[in-house]
Amino acid sequence: MEYYINDIKKDNFEGKEVDLNGFINSIRKGKNNTFFMLRDPSGIIQCVSHSSDKNFNEVNEITRESSVNVKGIIKKDERAEGGYEISVKEIKVYSIAEPFPLKKGHKKVFLFDERHLWLRSPKMTAIMKVRSTVFSSIHEFFSENGFYEIQSPSFVGGSVEGGATLFETNYFNKKAYLTQSWQLYAEAMVNSLWKIYTVAPSFRAEKSRTWRHLTEFWHAEAEIAFKTNEDVMDLEEKLIKYIVKNVLIKNADELKLLKRDTTMLENVVNKPFLRMKYEEVIDLANKNGLKLEYGADLGADEERVITSKLDVPLFSIDYPIELKPFYHKPAADSKHVLCNDLLAPEGYGEVIGGGQRVDDKETLLKRLKEEGLNEKDYEWYIDLRRYGAIPHSGFGMGVDRLVMWICKLPHIMYAVPFPRTPRRLNP
């Protein structure tokens, strides 16, 4: 039977012999007794070795972060963290660790330099467990709702989300770019499969260095045939509710360790999300002290103010056409587009961007021209409007941003095992 530390902190294990692999989280050596905390993915347990035990000398050789196998008897002990303790019978050392470089109170920059080691901390472990639930929930949700999972290339010939954030690479002496979104490919694939999704990295050469921007991020995107902006918002809301509900059930211990107040997450599951038109969102921002004019773009700072007092996510919809890329379908007034940004509460802001797509050739050609884009670069995409176009909609969700908000982290870099930002390529 495979078991972990948290499985054995139970009465039915009391007095039984257990066999565990783990790392030494901390150690306190004494003349008569040596105590160490053994850590595995599930948790930590206190282990004790007495000077009369035959392995006492071996135990005294181990150091913090050494890797070991421990055999011993599990005992109830009120004084031990978690209420149980292992009395060590045998210890096998896999590797004695050199003096461990991470200590409490280290500066953040140092911790990011040592990310390969920092990932072992209980806090980072808890975040990564939540992240795992988020990813598996996305796949479960789409699978349960009849979507096909399908992939698009990472090397692409042109931009989706504007040239400013394109990463250029040398592709056999030609220019290629790293994809910003699967969307244009999705709009081709949606014609045969009708309900599709992907979970993949997207790349943005972000010049804006904020707490919510990465240069490489995980993007969960969906595209659906014969659906409107309204329909796709319903789907986004269902998806977010599904993920958060799963995290509340599966990661109760991790949320506790992260000191995450779960009231807000419960609201997300139980209350309907808000929907406001762009103009109303601008009014809301101004009521909260900003001085925005119609036409202002909403970035991290503005969204922080807009969402900090909300108790559920907010769909900010129908932006002025100038603020959004060419592919959004214009509304009847031609001044707005049928789009939605889903803003997370508690100051976090945009986690999803989506909407309805232009579905006729004339409008698409006009929009490409207005945006100063070269028709030639979009030939195959224009074809999709030549040969049986359909109404369709979709969205992209920043998975790292979602994890940051669910765990209420101060920076997106905490939500990713090895974050990539303009300043960080190592480790």
Chain residues binding ligand 4AD by CB under 6 A are 160-161, 180-181, 183, 204, 206, 213-214, 217, 219, 221, 350-354, 394-396, 398, 400-401
Picking from 185, 194, 192, 197, the residue whose alpha carbon sits closest to that of residue 137 is 197
Q: Using CB under 5 A, which of the segments 43-51, 276-284, 347-355, 365-373 binds Mg ion?
A: 347-355
User: Two tokens at 402?
Assistant: 């979602």
Residue 318 or residue 350: which is nearer to ligand 4AD going by CB? 350
Residue 213 or residue 385: which is nearer to ligand 4AD going by CB? 213
Residue 345 or residue 353: which is nearer to ligand 4AD going by CB? 353
133 contact, one of ligand 4AD, Mg ion, none, CB 5-8 Å limit per kind: none
Report the 10 Å Cβ neighbour count for 423.
9
214 contact, one of Mg ion, ligand 4AD, none, CB 5-8 Å limit per kind: ligand 4AD
Residue 141 or residue 395: which is nearer to ligand 4AD going by CB? 395
181 contact, one of ligand 4AD, Mg ion, none, CB 5-8 Å limit per kind: ligand 4AD
Residue 219 or residue 241: which is nearer to Mg ion going by CB? 219
Reported for 418-425, long-range contacts at CB under 8 A and 24+ positions apart, including other chains, are 418/115, 418/116, 419/112, 419/115, 419/214, 420/214, 420/215, 420/216, 421/206, 421/209, 421/213, 421/214, 421/215, 422/206, 422/207, 422/209, 422/215, 423/209, 424/112
Contact characters 188-227, Mg ion, x per CB under 5 A: ----------------------------------------
C-alpha torsion 202→206→211→214, nearest 10: 30
What is the dihedral sign for C-alpha 41, 45, 46, 47? negative
Q: Any contact of residue 349 with Mg ion (CB under 5 A)?
A: no
Picking from 114, 102, 100, 111, the residue whose alpha carbon sits closest to that of residue 64 is 100
Strand partners of residue 85: 46, 75
316 contact, one of Mg ion, ligand 4AD, none, CB 5-8 Å limit per kind: none
Picking from 168, 144, 146, the residue whose alpha carbon sits closest to that of residue 157 is 168
Strand order in the sheet with 274-277: 148-149, 195-203, 216-225, 392-398, 349-356, 339-344, 314-317, 274-277
Binding residue (CB under 5 A) for Mg ion from 72, 313, 345, 353: 353
Contact (Cβ atoms closer than 8 angstroms) between residue 353 and residue 396: yes
The least distance separating ligand 4AD from the CB of residue 25, rounded to whole angstroms, comes to 32
Picking from 79, 91, 7, the residue whose alpha carbon sits closest to that of residue 49 is 91
393 contact, one of ligand 4AD, Mg ion, none, CB 5-8 Å limit per kind: none
Q: Using CB under 5 A, which of the segments 162-170, 287-295, 300-308, 346-354 binds Mg ion?
A: 346-354
C-alpha to C-alpha distances, 290 to 43, 144, 284, 296, nearest whole angstrom? 45, 42, 9, 11
Minimal CB distance residue for Mg ion = 353
Radius of gyration of the chain (CA): 26
Contact (Cβ atoms closer than 8 angstroms) between residue 325 and residue 368: no
221 contact, one of Mg ion, ligand 4AD, none, CB 5-8 Å limit per kind: ligand 4AD
The least distance separating ligand 4AD from the CB of residue 215, rounded to whole angstroms, comes to 7
SS3 290: coil
Residue 34 or residue 340: which is nearer to Mg ion going by CB? 340
Q: Using CB under 5 A, which of the segments 81-89, 192-200, 220-228, 348-356 binds Mg ion?
A: 348-356
Q: Are strands 195-203 and 167-171 parallel, antiparallel or unpaired?
A: unpaired
419 contact, one of ligand 4AD, Mg ion, none, CB 5-8 Å limit per kind: none
398 contact, one of Mg ion, ligand 4AD, none, CB 5-8 Å limit per kind: ligand 4AD
Q: Which helix (H) or strand (E) holds 123?
A: helix 122-144
Residue 93 or residue 200: which is nearer to Mg ion going by CB? 200
The least distance separating Mg ion from the CB of residue 118, rounded to whole angstroms, comes to 30
The least distance separating ligand 4AD from the CB of residue 111, rounded to whole angstroms, comes to 21
53 contact, one of Mg ion, ligand 4AD, none, CB 5-8 Å limit per kind: none
The least distance separating ligand 4AD from the CB of residue 193, rounded to whole angstroms, comes to 15
Residue 82 or residue 417: which is nearer to ligand 4AD going by CB? 417
C-alpha to C-alpha distances, 177 to 158, 173, 180, 215, 419, nearest whole angstrom? 7, 13, 9, 13, 20
Contact (Cβ atoms closer than 8 angstroms) between residue 399 and residue 219: yes
Q: Mutual orientation of helices 379-386 and 183-193 as an angle, nearest 10°? A: 30
237 contact, one of ligand 4AD, Mg ion, none, CB 5-8 Å limit per kind: none
Residue 160 or residue 178: which is nearer to ligand 4AD going by CB? 160
Which residues are at the interface with Mg ion (CB under 5 A)?
353
